[in-house]
């Protein structure tokens, strides 16, 4: 196999793993999700900051307590893949759609962002070595128009950088989920993440 052919195979496999993660996660197939990460891969998302094993364990518990009206989906758009030997960076546009009943009102939440992944090939197989979500914007709408009580969102921070995740924070608080620091798109935290990732990529074994 030529170098060009091998590169196409590697790129296809990396994207396949990320897509499989989304499908398995949304279906609650946590055994499959667990196979897509390298051991102790760091995970940083809206409600969890730790390693992949902890993410899978906590996700399994949360999924088991979902109410019948609760559901969520991950939709992927454009991506950018940078490959260097046994390492790769994959940045993917993502939209997360979630439906939840909050204080008797059924809401549809939408989060727009990007998955920023480090992939590494070990023992001949690609897996996720680090996963971070960059958050760009969010919005919310009632599933049934006109059902939001007056003043329901009073006090919500809708200015400044944190306004990009105001509804996410609101949903977390109402669902008693832990609030953790999140990386918001276009900030110094994102710039630092990219610098560290670029340095890591340059150190790949070719």
- Report CA 205 to chain centroid distance, whole Å: 27
Q: What is the pLDDT of residue 155?
A: 87
Q: What is the pLDDT of residue 47?
A: 92
For the question of whether the overall pTM of this predicted structure is more than 0.85, the answer is: yes
Residue segments in the chain with a per-residue pLDDT below the cut of 50 = none
Q: To the nearest 10°, report the CA torsion of 53, 54, 57, 60.
A: -110
For residues 19 and 90, what is the distance between their CA atoms, to the nearest angstrom?
A: 12
For residues 112 and 135, what is the distance between their CA atoms, to the nearest angstrom?
A: 6
Q: What is the pLDDT of residue 97?
A: 96
Long-range contacts of 22-27 (CB under 8 A, 24+ apart): 22/74, 22/75, 22/76, 25/59, 25/74, 26/72, 26/73, 26/74
Q: What is the pLDDT of residue 175?
A: 86
Q: To the nearest 10°, report the CA torsion of 58, 32, 52, 139.
A: -70
Q: What is the pLDDT of residue 8?
A: 95
């Amino acid at each position: 196999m030529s170098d060009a052919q091998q590169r196409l195979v590697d790129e296809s496999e990396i994207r396949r793993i990320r897509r499989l993660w989304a499908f398995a996660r949304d279906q609650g197939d946590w055994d499959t999700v667990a196979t897509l990460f390298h051991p102790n891969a760091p995970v940083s998302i809206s409600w969890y900051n730790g390693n992949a094993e902890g993410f899978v364990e906590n996700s399994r518990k949360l999924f088991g307590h979902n109410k019948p009206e609760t559901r969520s989906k991950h939709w992927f758009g454009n991506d950018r893949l940078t490959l260097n030997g046994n390492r790769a960076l994959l940045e993917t546009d993502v939209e997360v759609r979630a439906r939840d009943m909050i204080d008797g009102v059924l809401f549809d939440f939408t989060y727009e962002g990007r998955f920023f992944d480090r992939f590494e090939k070990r023992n001949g197989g690609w897996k996720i070595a680090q996963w971070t979500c960059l958050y760009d914007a969010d919005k919310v709408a009632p599933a049934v128009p006109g059902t939001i009580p007056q003043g329901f969102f009073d006090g919500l921070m809708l200015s400044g950088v944190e306004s990009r995740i105001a509804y996410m924070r609101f949903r977390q608080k109402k669902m008693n989920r832990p609030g953790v620091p999140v990386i918001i798109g276009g900030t110094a935290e994102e710039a630092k993440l990219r610098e560290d990732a670029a340095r890591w990529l340059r150190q790949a074994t070719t």
